[in-house]
Structure 1
Amino acid sequence: MTSTEDGPGVRRGTRRTAPEAAPPPGIRKPLPPRLFAVHGTNAETRWEALRGEDYLTPDDLFFVRNHTATPLIDAATWRLTLWGDALRGGPVAFTYRDLLGMPAETLTAFIECAGNGRRLYGEQQYQEAPGTPWRLGAVGVARWRGVRLATLLERAGMSDRAVALMPRGLDADYVEAGENLGRVRRPLPVAKALDDVLVAYEMNGRPLPPDHGHPARLVVPGWVGAASIKWLGDIEVSAERLESPWSTRLYRMHGPGHPPGGGPPLTRMGVKSAFELPWPARFEAGREHLLRGRSWSGHGRVVRVEVSEDEGVSWRPARLRDDRHPRGWVRWTLPWTPREAGNLRLLARAADETGAVQPDRAAYNLLGYRFDAVVRHPVVVT
């Protein structure tokens, strides 16, 4: 983590020149159909809307993942309370003004829903999975500003006995199939908390918008988005292991090839790539087009991206455009001239600095998490 602002600036265009339809219940910001695909209380960014945008995802294009509805919270009366048996002196509460008065740090990082790409299990692998039918638009990169969680834990008097934290949001209780699971919360190991986790109060140079966690949220770089709790209200600091439905039932890999009861709680996301194109995309034969896309990984910098127009028989290297932020994504381009009319699929495959490469097939699981296979993007050439 760095104490300087480490990302290109935010593009502040004039997309909002006409009145937009009201957002669905549960989301506060406008969700015009040309920019978002709406799935209940969730909104998926359309990748073609990112074409021509700068490195950071503008606030009004950032995807929304809500379990219930976006709450409106007054920063003046908001408190973040740290409590639990691994604090030396009992509960400690911090105000919004307290956070603003502490040493600030910035972090350029992506946040991605664990189910991003879920729809592709069915479309590409003929393995249907229930849940929000994200294609690839449940991801965004922002420049977050706030206070290191490690700083708050130190000021709250965390003892050496601490092994786990339980951050909890201030949104309403989540009810699934008639069962009240309580407010969204997910355990976080102390080691990760002390490493690079941020309690953020700004997004892209502005106070967090309501849909993205105002007044403050966690940003847990590289991990599944469920760990980056929005509307942060309290954090239990425990000398014992902690669990919640978001770590025991949800956000684990279930089904064939996985342990009974599910694999371990999901943490890091895999390597992914996406074209900045509509689905399907249309091109004119016989003329050159500039393909654009973005690739990212929860394990570190993306170092290589290749594109194929023949179902992976051959690959061409794309040109990487940006500084390769270890917690962000890289933009890339490739000139392409389709030779003849017809239907085909474009493939993009990325590799990160650990040597991880996107596989041809994703490891299937019943809840449709962590789709990381090479995506077959449909194209119509006329």
Structure 2
Amino acid sequence: MTAHESRRRDAAVSVAAGVLAVAASYAVAGATASFVASPIDRAIVDGTPGAIVTFMIENVGEPAHLLHLGGAVAVAVGLFGACVFGGLRVAHRVGRPLGGTVLAAGAAWLLATGLTGAPVSAVAAGLSAGVVTAAGVSGAVPDAVDPSRRQALAAVAAIVGVSGAAALIGRNRGGDAAPAAAPAPGAAGAEARLGEVEAASLDVASDDLHGLVSPIDEFYSVDIAEFEPEIPAAEWSLTFTGETGSDLTVDYDELTEREAEHRLVALRCVGEDINERKLDAAVWTGTPIAPLIDAVDPEGACDCAMLRGEDGYYVQFPVDVLSEGFLAWGMNGRALPPTHGRPVRVLIPGHWGETNVKWLTEIELLETEEDGYWEERGWEGTGPVNTVAKLWDEGITDLGDGRTELAGHAYAGTRGIDRVEVSTDGGETWTDAELSAELPDEDAWRQWRHVFEPDGAHEVVVRATDGEGTLQPAAESGSVPSGASGWVSRTVNG
């Protein structure tokens, strides 16, 4: 074999080793921060210019996540492949197969440990790299230029099979197969509160349109990266830093021993289209944040605060707005799920979902304002939510007697919803919809319902009036920079 052919062969073996190392890491860690592609994905997300982020959100949407995830995996494959390539070349040059194998495995383990900070799970990537390197230097892997295609195809099939099995194992280790969460601390009153909220829901015909409480597994979730931080409750703490009158750190037990409240709070994504399905509500269990702020800044000297999550996300708020916030550790009576910020997140009444930091670990009190994560990327997502009335597909139901039921949800943050109107003639005339009972929660949504007899195709338009008497604006705008606006319009056939 010539030197050129040897290098080609080693390059092919290295790519295969990189794939297997990444797959092995995923098999052990699943979709968590311990997966070797996770920190790379985060670096890609953080390093992408704001203009590109906005373009991708507006023009690509959800699939954009797959693009940066694919890029992270490709980079990880290349890095681990480089470890193996170095081991192979050393083995060939010095004639020490064992030395090259140990070098490749050690380098891969160090790389995985450096990326994730998890030396135990990093062993999977190191071992995979070592095994393939050993096979490469022993001749067990077919030459990349071997004319025998059958042998090469068998090797490719083996790599694909092992990687696929690892991916399946990794998925089962992730949130998809996680057991149901335990009851939240202090959640004794959550079930009663859930019953009160559900009793206020409208009795709509559609079984697919949920009421005033969204099931946890259907609640929308948007994060800056693909992999959720893992913070055991016993290791979690919230630290107040910055211009504080006194230092304060609160651990999970100290926080959950405070008097618990159960609040119905709705969340809406600032990046959604006007009728997209990123609006949900849950009964959250937690405690007010104001007493903690008062403890560290009793004189009220600080005007603003930066909230930081374990995932690297950060949001800035005026302290008077933050003081209305809520530290939540439970959701619909269960411990907060990982995808919604376990063990603790913050909820800021009436503000866009992006401001409600998940995996909250630090609140830095500031004397001057600083931009948060999305403000640095051209958004203005920390303001109050826009008023909206939704009409999704599952809210349109043929009742079978010549009538059609239209039903949906309306939300205006802490302003509340006073009225929802429906037009079945494209906005020429309007009829008040039936509304669900008004609840005492300051940041709740309401359901609406309207029944009519269609006689062909109708252009249905819905609009809401908030609790301050302000009609939802008709002018349409996209989500950038401060949330979508306009009236939802749908064609309904009789």
- TM above 0.5: yes
CA contact (8 A) 1:168 1:186 kept: yes
Q: 1:267 aligns with which of 376, 380, 383?
A: 383
SS in 2 for 1:81: strand
Structure with the larger helix share: 2
Taking the aligned partners of 1:377 and 1:25, their CA distance within structure 2 comes to 38
Offset at 1:364? Answer: 5.1
SS in 1 for 2:390: strand
Structure 2: runs of 5 or more not aligned: 1-29, 34-60, 67-204
Offset at 1:243? Answer: 2.5
Q: Corresponding residue for 1:101?
A: 257
Q: Corresponding residue for 2:354?
A: 226
CA contact (8 A) 2:478 2:485 kept: no
Per-residue CA deviation, residues 38-87 of structure 1 (Å, 9 max, x unaligned), is: 65559xxxxx99845331111111001111022222111111111112x1
SS in 2 for 1:93: strand
Q: 72-81 or 368-377, which moves further after superposition? A: 368-377
Q: Corresponding residue for 1:193?
A: 322
Q: 1:319 aligns with which of 425, 430, 434?
A: 434
Q: 1:75 aligns with which of 233, 236, 253?
A: 233
CA contact (8 A) 1:141 1:328 kept: yes
2:181 is the counterpart of 1:53: no
2:231 is the counterpart of 1:63: no
Offset at 1:326? Answer: 3.6
2:431 is the counterpart of 1:302: no
Q: Corresponding residue for 1:255?
A: none
Offset at 1:227? Answer: 1.1
Taking the aligned partners of 1:109 and 1:356, their CA distance within structure 2 comes to 21
Q: 1:212 aligns with which of 340, 344, 348?
A: 340
Taking the aligned partners of 2:330 and 2:403, their CA distance within structure 1 comes to 41
Instruction: Quote the RMSD (CA, aligned, Å).
Output: 2.8
1:286–1:100: structure 2 CA closer, same or farther, 3 Å change rule? closer
CA contact (8 A) 1:83 1:236 kept: yes
Taking the aligned partners of 2:258 and 2:400, their CA distance within structure 1 comes to 57
Q: Corresponding residue for 2:466?
A: 352
Per-residue CA deviation, residues 158-185 of structure 1 (Å, 9 max, x unaligned), is: 54311111010111xxxxxxxxxxx210
1:164–1:369: structure 2 CA closer, same or farther, 3 Å change rule? closer
Q: Which runs of 4+ in 1 moved over 6 A?
A: none
Q: 2:448 aligns with which of 332, 342, 366?
A: 332
Q: 202-211 or 52-61, which moves further after superposition? A: 52-61
SS in 2 for 1:354: coil
Taking the aligned partners of 1:354 and 1:233, their CA distance within structure 2 comes to 35
Q: Corresponding residue for 1:110?
A: 266
2:487 is the counterpart of 1:374: yes
Q: Corresponding residue for 2:185?
A: none
Q: 1:149 aligns with which of 280, 284, 289?
A: 289
Taking the aligned partners of 1:336 and 1:25, their CA distance within structure 2 comes to 47
Taking the aligned partners of 1:234 and 1:250, their CA distance within structure 2 comes to 24
What letter is aligned with 1:213? Answer: G
Taking the aligned partners of 1:140 and 1:229, their CA distance within structure 2 comes to 16
1:313–1:319: structure 2 CA closer, same or farther, 3 Å change rule? same
Structure-1-length-normalised TM-score: 0.71
Taking the aligned partners of 1:242 and 1:146, their CA distance within structure 2 comes to 28
1:317–1:297: structure 2 CA closer, same or farther, 3 Å change rule? same
Offset at 1:238? Answer: 1.8
CA contact (8 A) 2:379 2:481 kept: no
Q: How many residues align?
A: 298
Taking the aligned partners of 2:206 and 2:251, their CA distance within structure 1 comes to 37
Structure 1: runs of 5 or more not aligned: 1-23, 28-36, 43-47, 121-134, 172-182, 253-264
CA contact (8 A) 1:144 1:201 kept: yes
Offset at 1:192? Answer: 0.7
CA contact (8 A) 1:165 1:187 kept: yes
SS in 1 for 2:428: coil
SS in 1 for 2:290: helix
What letter is aligned with 2:276? Answer: L
Taking the aligned partners of 2:63 and 2:289, their CA distance within structure 1 comes to 32
Q: 315-324 or 282-291, which moves further after superposition? A: 282-291
CA contact (8 A) 2:209 2:394 kept: no
Offset at 1:292? Answer: 1.3
Per-residue CA deviation, residues 250-290 of structure 1 (Å, 9 max, x unaligned), is: 322xxxxxxxxxxxx641011101124249x6758971122
1:208–1:296: structure 2 CA closer, same or farther, 3 Å change rule? same
Taking the aligned partners of 1:39 and 1:64, their CA distance within structure 2 comes to 15
1:161–1:100: structure 2 CA closer, same or farther, 3 Å change rule? same
What letter is aligned with 2:470? Answer: A
Taking the aligned partners of 2:267 and 2:349, their CA distance within structure 1 comes to 7
Per-residue CA deviation, residues 274-327 of structure 1 (Å, 9 max, x unaligned), is: 124249x67589711222111110241211111111110111111112224441
Give percent identity, aligned residues only.
Answer: 25
Taking the aligned partners of 1:67 and 1:245, their CA distance within structure 2 comes to 9
Offset at 1:205? Answer: 1.3
Taking the aligned partners of 2:321 and 2:207, their CA distance within structure 1 comes to 31
Taking the aligned partners of 1:267 and 1:193, their CA distance within structure 2 comes to 12
1:74–1:250: structure 2 CA closer, same or farther, 3 Å change rule? farther
SS in 2 for 1:295: strand
What letter is aligned with 2:413? Answer: G
SS in 2 for 1:328: coil
Q: Corresponding residue for 1:289?
A: 404
SS in 1 for 2:374: helix
Which structure has the greater CA radius of gyration? 2
SS in 2 for 1:226: helix
Taking the aligned partners of 2:372 and 2:473, their CA distance within structure 1 comes to 31
Structure with the larger strand share: 1
CA contact (8 A) 1:271 1:356 kept: no
Q: Corresponding residue for 1:84?
A: 242
